[in-house]
Amino acid sequence: MTNLNKKVALVTGGSRGIGAAIAKRLASDGASVAITYAKDASAASAVVKAIESNGGKAVAIQADAADVEAVKSAVEKTVATFGRLDVLVNNAGTAIPKPFEETTLEEMERVIDINIRGVFVTTQAALKHMNDGGRVIMIGSAVGERAVAPGLVPYAATKGAVKMFTQALSREVGSRGITVNNVQPGPIDTDLNPASGDWAVPQKAATALDRYGHVEEIAAMVAFVAGPESSYITGANLTVDGGMNA
Ligand code: NDP
């Protein structure tokens, strides 16, 4: 695949899980890829090495999505390294599963700062560099549309906000030829949401396909939305959830 040749992508939270799969997929489609990470430099450098050993170009940048200045500087470093920015994937996100009434203010703020404020700030910084054909892609969640289980109240609320952010922003940047879309995963087997254990049982049972998804199944949708064939799709919430919200 070469339909992202000469394009530059920034994937936030690209060192593990869904973000790492997206980074590898966009690189194999021809894009030069910058990834951010919060803590795990060795995981981030493993993703860069995997892309480079496949003939691609990649760079890893430490930037906590909750740190406004770090996020802005990650966007500038991406442009300084690769000369432009065509695709932003707002993937960094977190959940702190627990009953709402036991959730502390600090925990609520952490989820909001990463899942919403980080997305706003990164997108604003990236839009300064985007031109016709630009792509802003959120990784929302199927629970941003339908809350299938208890324990995810602030998380679901932030992903609902990401959904409306996508729709509203698409109205502002459409005239510049930039599309804005929200890929909404269902249960995907990652460190954040492992397919084994008690927590996984009701999630798996809620899917029509009776299984967790794989990170590559989200990366495939992101690659399509990042590519030229999705040119008339914007302001859309694209659910990839094995039928969980059916
Ligand atoms: P993981 O926890 O498995 O991976 C998270 C990645 O993001 C890591 O690379 C991590 O790097 C990075 N990261 C975490 N916190 C921050 C931060 N504050 N700033 C920058 N980078 C950060 O998560 P998933 O891959 O499962 O989730 C990715 C996205 O997909 C999230 O937005 C999540 O809400 C969404 N999602 C996931 C679902 C699932 O079932 N897995 C379902 C629906 C949505 P480091 O190790 O350095 O912290």
Per-block mean pLDDT, blocks of 10 residues, the chain (246 long): 90 98 98 98 98 98 98 98 98 97 98 98 98 97 94 97 98 98 98 92 96 98 97 98 98
The answer to whether residue 246 is domain-embedded is: no
The answer to whether residue 139 is domain-embedded is: yes
The answer to whether residue 2 is domain-embedded is: no
Q: Annotated catalytic sites, by residue?
A: 155
Q: Which residue range(s) make up the domain with 85?
A: 8-240
The answer to whether residue 149 is domain-embedded is: yes
Helix crossing, 153-173 with 118-127: angle to 10°? Answer: 20
Count up the domains in the chain and report the number.
Answer: 1
Give the model's pLDDT for residue 1. 53
Question: Locate tokens 């792509």: which residue?
Answer: 135
The answer to whether residue 51 is domain-embedded is: yes
Give the model's pLDDT for residue 92. 98
Question: Locate tokens 């990164």: which residue?
Answer: 122
User: Distance between CA 67 and CA 38 in Å, rounded?
Assistant: 10
Question: Residues lining ligand 1, CB < 6 A?
Answer: 12-19, 36-40, 43, 64-66, 91-94, 114, 139, 141, 185, 187-188, 190-193
The answer to whether residue 184 is domain-embedded is: yes
Give the model's pLDDT for residue 151. 94
The answer to whether residue 131 is domain-embedded is: yes
Element spanning 128, H or E: none
> 105 with 30: CB under 8 angstroms?
no
Q: Which two tokens stand for residue 167?
A: 């729709």
Burial group, residue 108, by CB count within 10 angstroms (0-12, 13-18, 19+): middle
Q: Which atom of ligand 1 is nearest to the CA of 39?
A: 47
User: Distance between CA 97 and CA 119 in Å, rounded?
Assistant: 20
Q: How many CB atoms lie within 10 A of CB 231?
A: 11
Q: How many CB atoms lie within 10 A of CB 191?
A: 9
Give the model's pLDDT for residue 86. 98
The answer to whether residue 245 is domain-embedded is: no
Which residue's alpha carbon is nearest to atom 6 within ligand 1?
A: 13
Buried/exposed 66-103: b ≥16 CB within 10 Å, e otherwise: bbbebbbbbbebbbeebeebbbbbbbbbbbeeeeeeeb
CATH of the domain at 89: 3.40.50.720
